[in-house]
A = this chain, B = another copy of it.
Amino acid sequence: MGEHVPPDLLPGTLDLLILKALAANPQHGYGIAQRLRTVSDDVLQVGESSLYPALQRLLLKGWVKAEWGASENNRRARFYTLTAAGRKQLAVERQEFEHLILAIHKVLNAT
């Protein structure tokens, strides 16, 4: 009955994670996924079918911009860069995230 599948991701945090992954330097989609995975020690597993729609959202909102280029391996790749608005948004979402986490912890640690 209770086939319990540990989640690959906390829903609602993907945009934040992507924005943060791009904060240091521009990257292509595949690179973002890998970075999130390695930095989180294999905990956060972002599938491509979650990643690309998310990138579209961010593009639409103007938080990232994209340009075609060549990856380190000389392959055709689309590089995403954080815009100024994106940088601001990153700060906002980070703040909101911590705010919620704090609230959740208050519940979890209540007697």
Give chain A's interface residues, CB within 8 Å of chain B. Answer: 1-2, 4, 6-7, 9-13, 16-17, 20-21, 24, 36, 39-41, 43-44, 61-62, 85, 89, 92, 94, 96-97, 99-104, 106-108, 110-111
Jot down 25 A-B pairs with beta carbons below 8 A, ordered by A: A1-B61, A1-B62, A4-B89, A6-B96, A7-B96, A10-B10, A10-B11, A10-B101, A10-B104, A11-B11, A12-B12, A16-B104, A17-B104, A20-B107, A20-B108, A21-B107, A24-B110, A39-B106, A39-B107, A39-B110, A40-B107, A41-B103, A41-B106, A43-B99, A44-B103
Are A111 and B20 in contact (CB-based, < 8 A)? no
